[in-house]
């Protein structure tokens, strides 16, 4: 029998929504009782009810997180003690990994073969940032004026708002929540309305791990909930992953009260095959780049740039292999193509197929919905697409590749960089010198040479251009959740130095 989603939390709420809000360590319904449905994109069925947080609920969550920050119930612990509880959380994430994997699949239809390693990475990310908690340090700095000792401190910022998308719910939350907590902040999470329940399950584990009430809060809902959170004056930082349009709106709103922002946004990443590429590996890389997660990946290699000499062979291979991908139940380990995560995403991708028909693009495979249950579209490849086509310029977030040809390194670089995005790029060549030249010439936050889509917590991830602001992961990510405080200690300067007619003489 097919597994079932968790239909309520382990912790009982106030008798309202199956999946309540977490505010100040208590599970509560939205004040006005509003709810929305959790929906399975494979079965096309609703399976649960989630509280829909309004502005009053968001205010309560932020006030609770702010109180927890001010009384230092978390930041006042030794960093080693915060680390210990995060390590405990990592153990619980491993204990409950099968349930957390399944719950995300019921929410977004992503394949079990993708979600299992993804969940193992979440526990690994938690341990990585736990390990860094005690390394957070300022610097002893040589004074620029005599008679002083000067140094810096790194301090937590306060309330962090973590707003996440639906494509990798817990993975993208991990990149925000764990460094924020390791640095001593308190957090209000606003998961995507498509994938709220797995985040609530993770928050349940945070309480079990001994992270005090009020330090991790969760408000579920859609744009209205997120906008109320970003606008709240007690929010010190917004860490957001999602679309570029939403990210720009969030940055503008956060600027109203000078909240800091980290933005991980969209992409239209090039996967570039040079004439000497190891073709079998390169084709695998192109397939993984665009068809994994049914293309619902910020780092999807959605523009395939191919040297003319390989062009026909690559097109043929992509069409043939794309048509053979096994669509099916995302819970079945043999399935290679899952549904899109929602009806809205299906409609968006079908809209691009319409545009492709209107633009008379040459479709090698796909270009239509699959005639079966679930929000499936066929793996799709368009060839000889003009760089001006909307399909070559806009993020589709579906299993849709455009293939374009080039004749020289210079042309490949110009085509690759001809985008408002800059999240990632793949380069396939056996020529070490060419690979290094490409690494320097490509304008993107991650470059993969002879691989694609590999990420891990020791390297920063983020985008150039409209793909975002800042970086997540890597040791430096911890600092993105801190403020720097500079300290001047007077070592006994003559009294007139401090109190003379000019007071400070530095001119500011």
Binding mask 452-491 for ligand NAD (x = CB under 6 A): -----------x----x-----------------------
DSSP letters spanning 136-151: ----EE--SSTTEEEE
Three-state SS sequence of 210-262: CCCCCCEEECCCCHHHHHHHHHCCCEEEEEEECCHHHHHHHHHHHHCCCCEEE
> Of the residues 204, 264, 395, 472, which is catalytic?
264
- Which of 102, 167 has the CB closer to ligand NAD? 167
Q: Does 34 contact ligand NAD by CB under 6 A?
A: no
Answer whether 217's CB lies under 8 Å from 187's CB: yes
Residues between 245 and 274 that touch ligand NAD (CB under 6 A) = 246, 249-250, 264-267
Q: Does 232 contact ligand NAD by CB under 6 A?
A: no
Task: Tell which residue, 468, 318, 464, 305, has the closest CA to residue 387.
Answer: 305
CA 158/CA 175 separation, integer angstroms: 17
> Of the residues 107, 114, 298, 472, which is catalytic?
298
Answer whether 355's CB lies under 8 Å from 394's CB: no
> Which residue in the set 106, 166, 178, 406 belongs to the binding site for ligand NAD (CB under 6 A)?
166
Residues between 298 and 337 that touch ligand NAD (CB under 6 A) = 298
264 an active-site residue? yes
Three-state SS sequence of 421-449: CCCEEEEECCCHHHHHHHHHHCCCCEEEE
Q: Does 192 contact ligand NAD by CB under 6 A?
A: yes
In sequence order, the 6+-apart residues with CB closer than 8 A to the CB of 259 are 161, 230, 235, 236, 237, 238
Q: Does 375 contact ligand NAD by CB under 6 A?
A: no
Element housing 400 (H / E): strand 400-406
Using the contact rule CB under 6 A, the part of the chain among 73-81, 164-172, 272-280, 488-496 near ligand NAD is 164-172
Task: Tell which residue, 127, 249, 136, 250, has the closest CA to residue 184.
Answer: 136
363 an active-site residue? no
Binding mask 194-213 for ligand NAD (x = CB under 6 A): --------------------
- Which of 249, 279 has the CB closer to ligand NAD? 249
Q: Does 243 contact ligand NAD by CB under 6 A?
A: yes
Q: Does 132 contact ligand NAD by CB under 6 A?
A: no
Q: Does 18 contact ligand NAD by CB under 6 A?
A: no
Count the residues of the shown chain that bind ligand NAD, applying the rule CB under 6 A.
30
- Distance in Å, CB of 196 to ligand NAD, minimum: 9
DSSP letters spanning 20-53: -EEETTEEE--TT--EEEEEETTTTEEEEEEE--
- Which of 158, 165 has the CB closer to ligand NAD? 165
Residue entry with tokens 């005690």: 134
- Which of 185, 262 has the CB closer to ligand NAD? 262
Terminal-residue alpha carbon distance, the chain: 72
> Which residue in the set 29, 108, 167, 199 belongs to the binding site for ligand NAD (CB under 6 A)?
167
Q: Does 118 contact ligand NAD by CB under 6 A?
A: no
Binding mask 418-457 for ligand NAD (x = CB under 6 A): -----x----------------------------------
The CA-CA-CA angle for residues 368, 369, 373, to 5°, reads 160
Using the contact rule CB under 6 A, the part of the chain among 94-102, 218-226, 368-376, 474-482 near ligand NAD is 218-226
Residues between 383 and 402 that touch ligand NAD (CB under 6 A) = 395, 397
Task: Tell which residue, 11, 4, 40, has the closest CA to residue 28.
Answer: 11
Helical residues (DSSP H) of 330-443, grouped into ranges: 343-358, 390-393, 409-417, 432-441
- Which of 92, 121 has the CB closer to ligand NAD? 121
In sequence order, the 6+-apart residues with CB closer than 8 A to the CB of 64 are 23, 24, 214, 217
DSSP letters spanning 107-146: HH---HHHHHHHHHHHHHHHHHHHHHHTT----EE--SST
- Distance in Å, CB of 472 to ligand NAD, minimum: 7
User: Which residues of this protein are in contact with ligand NAD, per CB under 6 A?
Assistant: 163-167, 172, 190, 192-193, 222-223, 226-227, 230, 241-243, 246, 249-250, 264-267, 298, 395, 397, 423, 463, 468
Q: Which residues are catalytic?
A: 264, 298
């Amino acid at each position: 029998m097919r597994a079932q989603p968790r239909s309520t939390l382990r912790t009982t709420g106030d008798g309202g929504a199956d999946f309540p809000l977490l505010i100040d360590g208590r599970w509560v319904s939205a004040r006005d009782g509003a709810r929305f449905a959790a929906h399975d994109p494979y079965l096309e069925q609703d399976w649960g009810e989630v509280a829909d947080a309004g502005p009053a609920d968001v205010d309560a969550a932020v006030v609770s997180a702010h109180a927890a920050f001010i009384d230092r119930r978390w930041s006042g612990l030794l960093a080693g003690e915060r680390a210990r509880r995060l390590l405990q959380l990592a153990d619980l994430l491993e204990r409950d990994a099968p349930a957390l994997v399944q719950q995300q699949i019921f929410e977004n239809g992503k394949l079990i073969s993708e979600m299992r390693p993804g969940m193992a990475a979440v526990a690994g990310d938690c341990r990585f940032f736990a390990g860094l908690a005690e390394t957070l340090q300022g610097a002893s700095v040589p004074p620029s004026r005599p008679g002083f000792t000067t140094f810096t401190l790194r301090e937590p910022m306060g309330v962090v708002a973590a707003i996440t998308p639906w494509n990798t719910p817990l993975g993208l939350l991990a990149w925000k929540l764990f460094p924020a907590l390791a640095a001593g902040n308190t957090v209000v999470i606003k998961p995507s309305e498509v994938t709220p329940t797995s985040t609530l399950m993770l928050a349940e584990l945070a309480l079990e791990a001994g992270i005090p009430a009020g330090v991790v809060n969760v408000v579920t809902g859609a744009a209205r909930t997120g906008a109320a959170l970003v606008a709240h004056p007690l929010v010190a930082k917004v860490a957001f992953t999602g679309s570029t349009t939403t990210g720009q709106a969030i940055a503008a709103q956060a600027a109203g009260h000078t909240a800091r922002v980290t933005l991980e946004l969209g992409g239209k990443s090039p996967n570039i095959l040079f004439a000497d590429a190891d073709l079998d590996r390169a084709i695998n890389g192109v397939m993984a780049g665009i068809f994994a997660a049914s293309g619902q990946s910020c780092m999807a290699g959605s523009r395939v740039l191919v040297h003319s000499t390989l062009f026909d062979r690559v097109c043929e291979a992509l069409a043939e292999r794309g048509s053979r991908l096994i669509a099916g139940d995302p819970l079945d380990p043999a399935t290679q193509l899952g549904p899109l995560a929602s009806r809205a995403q299906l409609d968006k991708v079908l809209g691009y197929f319409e545009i492709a028909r209107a633009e008379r693009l040459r479709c090698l495979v796909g270009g239509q919905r699959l005639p079966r249950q679930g929000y499936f579209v066929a793996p799709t490849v368009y060839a000889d697409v003009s760089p001006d086509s909307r399909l070559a310029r806009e993020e589709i977030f579906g299993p849709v590749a455009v293939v374009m040809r080039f004749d020289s390194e210079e042309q490949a670089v110009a085509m690759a960089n001809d985008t408002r995005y800059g999240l990632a790029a793949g380069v396939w060549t056996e020529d070490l010198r060419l690979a290094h030249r490409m690494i320097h010439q490509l304008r993107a936050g991650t470059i993969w040479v002879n691989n694609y889509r590999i990420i891990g917590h020791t390297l920063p991830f983020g985008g150039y251009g409209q793909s975002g602001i800042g970086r997540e992961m890597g040791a430096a990510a911890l600092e993105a959740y801190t403020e720097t405080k500079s300290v001047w200690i007077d070592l006994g300067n003559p009294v007139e130095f401090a109190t003379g007619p000019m007071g400070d003489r530095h001119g500011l």
